[in-house]
Amino acid sequence: MLTINQKVSIFDSFTELTKKVGKDNVRFNYSYAQTKKQQKNVICQFNINTGNGYVCGKYLDSKSQYKVDPRGWINIKNFNENELKILIKESINSLSK
């Protein structure tokens, strides 16, 4: 399992994403300005205390391997580095179509 700093480093490596700090300074969102959908957040509610957060899965292929909750989000708490990078890329691509 990745540390919180490793996850933040992965998020920050996506230069097309903009980091937004929540009002509580504990949660972060990363948005994608070039989205073709209504959805702008790729990563939401990332908690710097727990390492939990969500990646947008709402527009992924219905045959994807991810467990998408009813709101359209994928919990990333237990993802490894490679899985997380792939998911974020897929999410960004799904918002670009």
Which pLDDT tens digit goes with each residue over 5-28? 999 999 999 999 999 998 889 999
Domain that holds residue 22: 4-96
Overall number of domains in the chain:
1
Q: Which pLDDT value is given to residue 27?
A: 95
Distance CA 27, CA 84 (A): 18
The structure tokens 């994608």 sit at 32
| Token pair of 93 as six digits | 């691509």
Question: What pTM did the predictor assign?
Answer: 0.94
With a cut of 90, say whether residue 63 has pLDDT above it.
no
Determine the average pLDDT of the residues in 74-96.
96
Average pLDDT of the chain to the nearest whole number: 95
Residue 22 to residues 19, 44, 48, 68, Cα–Cα distance (Å): 10, 10, 11, 23
User: Model confidence at 29, in pLDDT bands (50, 70, 90)?
Assistant: very high
